[in-house]
């Protein structure tokens, strides 16, 4: 019996077919919206992850949240293949028993949603409900998604190795206390070597991890969990976000409750391993600009650190030593006293805080304040 847990609540999926080009609209770019398991994750905001979708499946007389997914064009969603398997029968759900909801941030607030029915579902021929191989599915929507601030497609086409790079996974899965999160969470995590993953738990990963999968996460309590299945692991390259992996499985907890272990790595289906198949089934063409640089690694991380640090630009700074564990160190960034660097605990990453025009950063109160209160020269 597999000692792994497919990260789902009830499992579903959607699929499709199209001749649209992914380049017909800009992919992987968030639209400005004013207004995180995922264990150890951070809160997001509406519009932070406009390509993340919610899959709902028929349970009794109602439609219930099952899995996550990623919009890759106005007509197609990628998810995990095990999400479209009915756990009661072991067979694939009929398309009419699944629906995709786009543009959702809070599962209890559907004011920004677009509900899309499924026309077709595609899975690799070798996928079986009893295994973990080929855990990917394409959902073709009956109608095209209407792109707006809350609904945008993610990019495809990362060809370089992702090992050693950091991605961000998002979802409504269980958080601390093993309860589903109604609001979308995100967590930034590194992709590790397969050998690292296998050595951490041979029973879970030894027979289930191959070249078509990625292993990512930490062993410190930040991981994916039940309900995160099918969601994406995203990598920022330049100003765009690319889908690199799909949440597949994680080791089971030892309490017999059929839920995730928060102190374990997780396995993701590698999107690039199935890119040819995806393009064949969807008829999409990658004529949008392809990445000319690699995603960030722990040693060269720079740029926007994502929704978890939305108002900051992160950089590496040697002044932030590893001993900044018990308190936060603040440094001047420039001669302009409105800007400070804050060392994050346990890292040497610092964030630059820019206050709105006319305001200055008050180091003592850790807030944006009037110049005379912040003790700064208004010039």
DSSP track, 116-175: EEEEEEE--TT--TTS-TT--EEEEESS----BTTB-PPB----S--TTBEEEEEE--B-
75 occurs within a structural domain: yes
Q: Is 256 left (phi over 0), alpha (psi -120 to 50) or beta?
A: left
- The whole domain housing 361 covers 313-373
Q: How far apart are CA 230 and CA 127, in angstroms?
A: 15
**Catalytic center residues:** 82, 135, 229
Give tens-digit pLDDT for 114-140. Answer: 999 999 999 987 777 666 789 999 999
Same domain, 170 and 278: yes
Q: How far apart are CA 379 and CA 370, in angstroms?
A: 13
- Could you give the number of structural domains in the chain? 3
pTM: 0.68
Same domain, 75 and 183: no
The pair of structure tokens assigned to 120 is 């077709």
Same domain, 235 and 272: yes
Distances from the Cα of 331 to the Cα of 149, 298, 319, 345, 372, angstroms: 35, 22, 9, 14, 20
146 occurs within a structural domain: no
Burial 86-124 (b: 16+ CB within 10 A, else e): beeeeebbebebbbbbbbbbebeeeebbbebebbbbbbb
Rg over CA atoms, the chain:
21
20 occurs within a structural domain: no
Q: What is the DSSP letter of 356?
A: P
294 occurs within a structural domain: no
Give tens-digit pLDDT for 273-325. Answer: 999 999 999 999 875 545 555 565 533 333 333 333 333 333 444 444 433 33
126 occurs within a structural domain: yes
Q: Which residue has the higher pLDDT, 141 or 161?
A: 141
Same domain, 204 and 102: no
Same domain, 137 and 172: no
Give tens-digit pLDDT for 230-285. Answer: 999 999 988 889 999 999 987 776 665 555 666 778 899 999 999 999 999 999 98
């Amino acid at each position: 019996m597999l000692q792994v847990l497919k990260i789902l609540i009830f499992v579903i999926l959607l699929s499709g077919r199209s001749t649209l080009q992914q380049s017909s609209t800009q992919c992987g770019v968030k639209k400005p919206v004013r207004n995180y398991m995922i264990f150890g994750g951070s809160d997001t905001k509406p519009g932070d992850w406009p390509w993340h979708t919610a899959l709902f499946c028929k349970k009794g007389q109602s439609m219930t949240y099952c899995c996550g997914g990623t919009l890759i064009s106005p007509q197609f969603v990628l998810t995990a293949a095990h999400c479209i398997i009915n756990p009661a029968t072991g067979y694939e759900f009929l398309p009419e028993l699944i629906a995709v909801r786009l543009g959702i941030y809070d599962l209890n607030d559907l004011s920004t949603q677009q509900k899309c029915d499924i026309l077709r579902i595609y899975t690799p021929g070798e996928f079986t409900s009893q295994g973990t191989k080929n855990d990917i599915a394409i959902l073709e929507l009956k109608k095209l998604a209407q792109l707006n601030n809350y609904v945008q497609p993610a990019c495809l086409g990362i060809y370089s190795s992702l090992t050693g790079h950091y991605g961000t996974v998002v979802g409504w899965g269980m958080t601390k206390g093993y309860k589903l999160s109604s609001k979308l969470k995100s967590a930034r995590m590194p992709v590790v070597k397969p050998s690292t993953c296998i050595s951490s738990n041979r029973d879970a990963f030894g027979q289930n991890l191959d070249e078509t999968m990625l292993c990512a996460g930490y062993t410190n309590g930040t991981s994916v969990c039940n309900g995160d299945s099918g969601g994406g692991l995203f990598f920022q390259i330049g100003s765009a976000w690319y889908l690199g992996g799909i949440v597949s499985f994680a080791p089971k907890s030892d309490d017999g409750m059929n839920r995730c272990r928060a102190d374990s790595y997780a396995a993701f289906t590698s999107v690039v391993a199935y890119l040819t198949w995806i393009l064949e089934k969807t008829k999409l063409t990658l004529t949008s600009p392809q990445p000319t640089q690699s995603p960030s690694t722990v040693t060269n991380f720079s740029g926007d650190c994502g929704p978890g640090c939305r108002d900051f630009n992160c950089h590496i700074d040697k002044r932030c030593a590893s001993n900044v564990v018990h308190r936060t160190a603040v440094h001047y960034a420039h001669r302009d006293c409105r800007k400070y660097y804050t060392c994050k605990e346990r890292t040497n990453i610092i964030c630059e805080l820019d206050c709105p025009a006319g305001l200055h950063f008050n180091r003592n109160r850790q807030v944006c304040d009037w110049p005379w209160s912040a003790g700064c020269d208004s010039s």
